[in-house]
Structure 1
Amino acid sequence: MSTLPFLVAGWIFLVGLYGMVTSRDLIHTVGCLSVTQSSTYVLLLGVGYRDGAGAPVFADVSVRTPVVDPVVQAMALTDVVVGATVTALLLALVLQIRKRHGTVDPDRLGELRG
């Protein structure tokens, strides 16, 4: 088992996290959050990968043929759908903030501070 997918997932996560921390724009922050979440796709696919295995379709092959884990693939697809939904919701909220306050700069949103 290779550690490369786990290192790549960690690197993508850190790049997205760095972008969120240094962002001066809410739209950029939402994009960086989306990049951070994409690291989970790589992580899930790295967990379910098996060397020399095929797709989990048993229509014309023996049941003993090695295949990748279909549960992890389903979880990765679900993660993609959830990520797209969260990104769309956050972008809609950013648009509402822009309409109400006239800016997407977090430092200029003084009215939202508690």
Structure 2
Amino acid sequence: MTRVLPYLAAAWIFLVGCYGLATSRNLVRSVGCLAVCQSATYVLLLAVGYRDGGTAPVFSDVKPGTRPVVDPVVQALALTDVVVGATVTALLLALVVQVSKRHRTLDPDELSELRG
């Protein structure tokens, strides 16, 4: 059960973010819910790279292969995911500010000019 718990936590965080995204009537809240969905990927990546009893992949004092280590590639992907998530969130918030300035509303239903 403990091996499945991080995957369940990632799925729960993702579903909470998707629920908030689907029910939000405010663009700022929508961006926040999208950031919550993105944070589920951090948990998922770290769960994939985890090993029981693993330590940091530093081999300055021991030979490689003598002890289990966590996967450093997955850790690097998680850090990259954090940077990409922050960048996307900042870009979306900048777009929300522009929409607010031009249309004087943050409700997506009131943005009639954006309809096809």
Whether TM exceeds 0.5 here: the answer is yes
Alignment partners' CA distance in 2, 1:77 and 1:39: 13
Give ranges in structure 1 of 5+ residues lacking alignment.
none
TM-score (norm 2): 0.95
Q: 1:68 maps to which residue? A: 70
State the partner residue of 1:78. 80
Alignment TM-score, normalising by the size of structure 1: 0.97
Paired with 1:79 and 1:69, the residues of 2 have a C-alpha distance of: 16
Counterpart Cα distance in 1 of 2:81 and 2:63: 30
Sequence identity percentage: 72
Q: Could you tell me which amino acid in structure 1 is paired with residue 36 of structure 2?
A: V
Residue 53 of structure 1: aligned partner: 54
Give structure 2 stretches of 5+ with no counterpart.
Answer: none
The equivalences for 1:36-47 within 5 A come to 36-47=37-48
Cα RMSD (Å) of the superposition? 1.0
SS of match in other structure, 2:59: coil
Deviation at 1:57, TM superposition (A): 1.2
Question: What is the deviation of 1:111?
Answer: 1.2
